[in-house]
Amino acid sequence: MMNCREATQLMSESQERKLSLKESMSLGMHTMMCKGCHNYKQQMGTLRKITRAYAKGKNEQTEK
């Protein structure tokens, strides 16, 4: 089975390139069974959202 280190690498790469069918299937299997990587996957989406909001100056709309 794929380990967490490899799984996180693939989750990162999936933000730059389309994973192969084999890669997405083994990744899917892994995140189904691994709570940590399941959370990691959610957080990658959140991280992108946070960063893009920050780059667009959304943080300046909060009270200081």
Partner 1 sequence: MSANSNRQENTKQVGNLLADTSFLEDIRKQMIRFATLQLGDGHLAEDAVQDALIGALKNATSFGGRAALRTWVFAILKNKIADTLRHKQRVVNASSLLREEDEDEDFSELFDRKGFWQPDERPVAWGNPEGSLREAHFWRVFEACLDGLPPKQARVFMMREFIELDAEEICVAVDLTTSNLHVLLHRARLRLRECLENKWYLQGERNDELS
Q: For 1-64, where are the alpha helices, taking DSSP H only?
A: 4-13, 21-33, 35-55
Site for partner 1 in 10-29 (CB under 8 A): 12-13, 15-17
Least distance between partner 1 and beta carbon 46 (Å): 4
One-letter amino acid of 19 = L
Q: Which residues, 6+ apart, have CB-to-CB distance to 37 below 8 Å?
A: 4, 7, 8, 11, 30, 31
8 binds partner 1 (CB under 8 A): yes
Using CB under 8 A as the binding rule, whether residue 56 contacts partner 1 is answered as: yes
Applying CB under 8 A, which residues contact partner 1? 3-6, 8-9, 12-13, 15-17, 34-37, 39-40, 42-44, 46-59, 62-64
